[in-house]
């Protein structure tokens, strides 16, 4: 991990707490045998869109939960960020998941799961999340340099 990663996660947790979030578990830097840059798995409830943990990519074991009253409100909140790598929709209604997926500004939408990589599907983001894509045929295309050869064997 980057040297500043743990401090950044701790700062996001403190910001959430200061703005009304409640840490149900975790929320602290930790180590293994006194070594390493680790952060406890963390669950924060009572989150709102003005919290850093809801607006920035944590790249850490933090789950921030914001209660919404409708799928439309969820979509607005999920799109209210500069980032858009993935989103997860937990529902038994496939039609609702498809509707939400069509409106979410992200590269990948999961239904009833999160961060499962399928090598046949491209892994990409939207907005300020990453550049380009990886995995799948489309990911390999980024590393392919085409060359055309036009040979003429007879000149007469």
Work out the mean pLDDT of the chain and round it to a whole number.
91
Task: Tell the residue number behind the tokens 């050869």, with chain if given.
Answer: 149
Burial class (CB in 10 A: 0-12, 13-18, 19+), 31: exposed
Q: Which residues contact 126 (CB under 8 A, 6 or more apart)?
A: 84, 85, 105, 106, 107
Confidence of residue 123 (pLDDT cuts 50, 70, 90): confident
Spatial contact of 24 and 43, defined as CB atoms under 8 Å apart: yes
Sequence-distant contacts of 135-139: CB under 8 A, at least 24 apart: none
Confidence of residue 11 (pLDDT cuts 50, 70, 90): very high
């Amino acid at each position: 991990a980057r040297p500043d990663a743990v401090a950044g996660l701790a700062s996001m947790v403190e910001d959430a707490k200061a703005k009304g979030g409640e840490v149900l578990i975790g929320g602290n830097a930790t180590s293994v045998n006194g070594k390493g840059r680790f952060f406890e798995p963390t669950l924060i409830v009572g989150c709102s869109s003005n919290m850093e943990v809801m607006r920035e990519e944590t790249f850490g074991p933090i789950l921030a939960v914001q209660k919404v009253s409708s799928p439309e409100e969820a979509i607005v909140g999920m799109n209210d960020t500069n980032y858009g790598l993935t989103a997860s929709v937990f529902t038994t209604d496939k039609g609702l998941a498809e509707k939400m997926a069509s409106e979410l500004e992200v590269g990948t939408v999961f239904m009833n799961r999160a961060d499962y990589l399928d090598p046949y599907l491209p892994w990409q983001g939207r907005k300020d999340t990453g550049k380009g894509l990886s995995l799948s045929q489309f990911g390999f295309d980024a590393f392919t340099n085409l060359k055309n050869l036009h040979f003429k064997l007879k000149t007469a």
